[in-house]
Structure formats: structure tokens, C-alpha cells
Amino acid sequence: MKPAPFAYLRPGSLTEAVAALAGEPGAKVLAGGQSLVPLLSMRLAAPSMLVDINGLPGLDTITADEAGVTIGALARHADVLASDDVRRVQPLVPLALSHVAHATIRNRGTTVGSLVHADAAAEMPVALTLLGGSLEVEGPGGRRRIPADGLYVGPLESSLHHDEIAVSAFFPALAPGAGVAFDEVARRHGDYALVGCAALVDGDSVRVGYLSAADLPTVVDLSGVPDDRLGDAALEHLDPGDDIHATADYRAQLVRVLTARVVRSAREGVGR
């Protein structure tokens, strides 16, 4: 199919881009386009205008310091994944990114765009939520920071206003002595995960984030739970569903298996 007709604007500044969104409630931001363009082609989305921000300067930066990793809105998945500094400061970011789609899509897709798309089956939203990261957005009223635990409000729905543009994402650094791990099961490499898990272990604290196991990226505190009950304890907070790819029972079993696996891997990675 072909997209429904839409206007196209390639602004020269962030101020111009925000003004365009404010003046056209049906507009959408185009960055990498790896989620939006397929929706347009299938007519699952029909914006009145695309505001293409790829020409805006200063939004493709990737920085890593003792506080954490900051990823600009136009930084491509592949560039973030290739950064040794990102891997050193917060290894969960590349661990999750390595599971995002295929190399061709990672070359064009943006990490911030994936976060804003708010897909509960995607890897980066759950990584941001587990780490307690945040999104910085620019709107007509200026710039504000949205913590990850207030970012996702429904399936494919974030708390960004229609006239705001996400300019960067922040992933806190891994604390000394902490460990992380990520794993998922998909029908084929690059497909959306049937279930995925990310673990963060820091001393006695054990927290695990889940994708494709609820309507939102969901983090469960499993501190103090015996190893043989980790998965069942997590399922008390999740809602695996049925679809053409897997039954709810199968997804629940994947939660059990993957939870034990990522918690063990995170513990084994402490101090490395």
C-alpha cells in the first residue's frame, strides 16, 4: 500500500520544527523512520504532515561520562552500538541494542526514536525504564525532562505532547559492583521478541525489565526472591498475551526461563 497524502517540512532549526508541530496537531516527527514509515505504508498512521528533523544540527551526538550515556535524537542505533565509551559506561545499552532488528535497520533507525515510539515489544524502552533513565524534550514552553517511569502511558503511547520533540535520552551509568544482562527469544533473529528480559543486579537488589510480556515496558523488583521462584514471582506483575506467534502459556514459560537466565548472567558479570 501507499501512504495517505501528507505535507512535508524539513525545518532548519529546532525552533522551527517545534512551531510546525504546534501549528499542525496532526503532524508527526520523522527521524530514522524505521517504525513510522511502515505504519504510513500500511495506513495504520495518517499524519497530516511529516516534520523531518534530519537536517537539524547537534542532535546526532553520543556522549558518555561518569554520570551516564546521553544519546541525541538523530544518533543511529549502529553508531551507539559501536561506541566503546557507551559499552564501558552502561553495558546494558549495547546488550539491548544488539537485539534490535537487523543491521540495515540499525544503520538508519534512531535510539531516541525507538524510545518515543513506545512499543512494549521493543528493547530500548525497557532498558531505559530498568535503568531509571530519562528523555529530554523541547516544546513551545521550553525544555523539560521526562523520567522513564512517567514516559509510557499506554500501548504505543508516551507522555510527550504532540508539539514536543525528543532531543536526547539519558541512561545512567552502571554503578561499581553492579551487573547487567539482556536476553530474548524471537522466532527469527531480528524479529520482535516473543519475550525479552533485562536484569540489573546491584548488591541485594535484583530488578528485571520485560518486553512483550505486558502492555507497557514493565520492571519487577525481585530482590529477596529465591532463585527457583524468580519467574513465577515476576509473572504476578505481568500479563503475557496470546497472538498468532505464541500462546500466553508459552510466553509465561519464556518469562520463567529468561528471568532465571538474565539474573544469573547479571550476577556473573558483577565486577567485570
The string of pLDDT tens digits covering residues 155-207 is 999 999 999 999 999 999 999 999 999 999 999 888 999 999 999 999 999 99
Provide the pLDDT confidence category of residue 270 given band limits of 50, 70 and 90: confident
Provide the pLDDT confidence category of residue 9 given band limits of 50, 70 and 90: very high
The string of pLDDT tens digits covering residues 24-76 is 999 999 999 999 988 999 998 999 999 999 999 999 999 999 999 999 999 99
Q: What is the pLDDT of residue 272?
A: 61
Residues of the chain above pLDDT 90, percent: 93
Amino acid at 70: T
| Cα angle 13-17-22, degrees, rounded to a multiple of 5 | 145
Q: CA–CA separation, 73 vs 115, rounded Å?
A: 10
Q: Is the pLDDT of residue 234 over 90?
A: yes
Q: What is the pLDDT of residue 189?
A: 85
DSSP β-ladder status, 49-52 and 27-30: parallel
Q: What is the pLDDT of residue 271?
A: 63
Q: CA–CA separation, 78 vs 55, rounded Å?
A: 19
Cell numbers at 92, concatenated:
546494558
**Radius of gyration (C-alpha) of the chain in whole angstroms:** 19
Q: Is the pLDDT of residue 15 over 70?
A: yes
Q: Which domains does the chain have, with CATH numbers?
A: 7-52 (3.30.43.10), 62-172 (3.30.465.10), 178-268 (3.30.390.50)
What is the pTM (predicted TM-score) of this model?
0.96
Cell numbers at 73, concatenated:
535524537
Average of pLDDT values for 6-29? Answer: 96
Provide the pLDDT confidence category of residue 233 given band limits of 50, 70 and 90: very high
